[in-house]
Structure 1
Amino acid sequence: MSEAVQRNIKDHWYVKYEEASFPFIQKGWVLPVERWADFDPFILMAEDWFKRGAFSDHPHRGFQTVTYVIDGRLEHIDNGGGRDILEPGDMQYMNAGWSARHAEEAVGNDIAHTLQLWLNLPRDLRHSETSYQNVYAEDAPVVSFQGGTVKVFSGDVAGVTGPLQSAVPITMSEITLTEGASYTHKLPETHNAFVYVLSGDIEFGESPVNLKKHGAGTLTFKENGNENNESDLIMKANSRRSKVLVYSGTPIREEIVPYGPFVMSTMDEIKEAYRDFHNGKFGPPAV
């Protein structure tokens, strides 16, 4: 049996934040959209702080979202009759498919603090059926190791399977470490992956790179390897209460046009999406 590929940090940066006009409060790009080809199958990830009214009724088409609640409460409303409230540590998946129309609102006077990841769809799934799935923090399996835990939202990780069922399979894990603790996170060697540090101070990789809170990093991977082979990402915490999210997925390698609330293959398809929305093909408002 061959030795597992060792993952290292390929590129890293710290998120820069900008104040925004009410009901938006602050925003930063964890994954900036102009680099989507580097992040494939991921397109972008935004970190937002907002009050109610910031993300009222709006449409989507052609991609998936994975929304993780860091703080505050988030109310999901969709025009198919779905409504729920997510709390810190919960996440929601949406396959926008052909015609999603929803709202994501802070609850009451809360300030919602969220991470929203846009996940690409292959061209042949852009017209798939719209769907939503909530994964509550207590429903994601947790595996303990010396000095920490790994909570698995999606994929087969650490001997357990996360409940998220996305149209394009991914892994998503939340790893918590105490000071001095080490952990080896296993991922399919062909998955493109990135990390985002929520708190603390962590060293990543066989050739260690240090990232603190608000630090993001892409990982090396073996694109032409075997999807059944695992790779190792070594991490070590330098402070207590260190927490990181790790996402991974197989690159789709298709050209995309992200524009406004839509992700399609061509600008003509973007224009068609706007026409369909204005002509009522996305259905009634989400209220």
Structure 2
Amino acid sequence: MILAVVGRASSEANRSMSLAIVTAAGSAGQVIGAPLAEALLALMPWQGVFLAFAAMILAVLAVLPWMRAPAPPRKAEPREAMGAVVLGALRDPSFGLIFLGFFSCGYQLAFVTAHFPALVTELCAPILPGGALHSLGITTTSALGAVAIALIGLFNILGTLAAGWAGKRYTKKHVLALIYTGRTIAAAAFILLPVTPLSVILFSVVMGALWLATVPLTSGLVAHLYGLRYMGTLYGIVFLSHQLGAFLGVWLGGRLYDAYGSYTAVWWIGVAVGAFSALVHLGIEERPRALPAAA
């Protein structure tokens, strides 16, 4: 919903960057959320941590009265029937490719968020060795997992802004294909090489830079192909694919770990779907569609 509002209020030239700024802002909480939860768990039971985070979420309501949405630019646009536009998009092979391609984004993000700290705990030593990480206070695998999630959020801000910049200057489908290719290479390299605290940090930095970089490009691509009037509806349909992937990444991660005692299988599935998304985006025909007029 937020992306649709921002997309309609932005000019075509600045839409990718506007969507990137909003997406990057969503990661600010992730930068401090995981380390804060780790610190609170040392002071109170997990139920108290949930209540503390619930209070912080409710506190956000205090800023709503000061929020003002800028008026969208006025220009003559044909009035399209929503049903006709949605059906037209569903029949468009490019929309289907966008839908399929977004699946791996949800799979990878949800799996890493839910299971990566546990994977770090499993593969790294219970107590980290001395050295630079130890001097920074990262002395346990749980702390390392929290720092990894925070680093993903931090570098996601930079990566998402860079994706918004690139989306204004280059073909969005090609930038998306590069992002998914980068994710695939990073994930494959991480699982093939020895897992150490340093490799966890490096993977978090690289994965963070590619984390939500797909969102402004995917939503911007939907707006570019089908217009702004029903961008929220059409992007919502595309986002359904993301959430189906998210469900599968979290559930399959737990299911396969229980079955095999390892995250290796589900990790390689993530590598495969990432490569699939990189290829799928190359087939998108990136040009605005002629929309049917309302009766």
* Fold shared per TM-score above 0.5: no
TM-score (norm 2): 0.22
The structure in which a higher percent of residues are helix is 2
The structure in which a higher percent of residues are strand is 1
* Greater gyration radius: 2
Higher RCO, Cα 8 Å, sep 6+? 2
